[in-house]
Structures are given as structure tokens and as C-alpha cells.
Amino acid sequence: MGINLPEDDLWAEYPDHPVADWQAEVANGDTRLGYWDWVSARIT
């Protein structure tokens, strides 16, 4: 993955890609990726 995952905060989120956006895509069936994989796909 091209990002540094936070080791001390399991609930951290990437500033430009909020968890709420990922949750909406999951709920709509638009992604099956986990949050950090989804972020990585967005920034690479």
C-alpha cells in the first residue's frame, strides 16, 4: 500500500477520504474493499 497506516489509532481516517464516504460506497454496493485498501485505491 502507498500510505503509512497509523499504528496507534485503529479508528484513524485519511484526511481527504472520510470513513463516511467509504461507508456510503459499501452500503451502496460500490466497493467491497476495506477502508484502508479503498483509500489506497483512491490515492494511487
Higher pLDDT, 10 or 12: 12
Average pLDDT, the chain: 91
Residue 1 has pLDDT above 80, yes or no: no
pLDDT digits (tens, 9 = 90+) for 16-33: 999 999 999 999 999 999
Residue extents of the structural domains in the chain: 16-44
Judge whether 36 and 1 are in contact, CB under 8 Å: yes
pTM: 0.83
Distance of alpha carbon 22 from its chain centroid, rounded?
Answer: 6
The secondary structure element, H or E, covering residue 18 is: none
Higher pLDDT, 38 or 6: 38
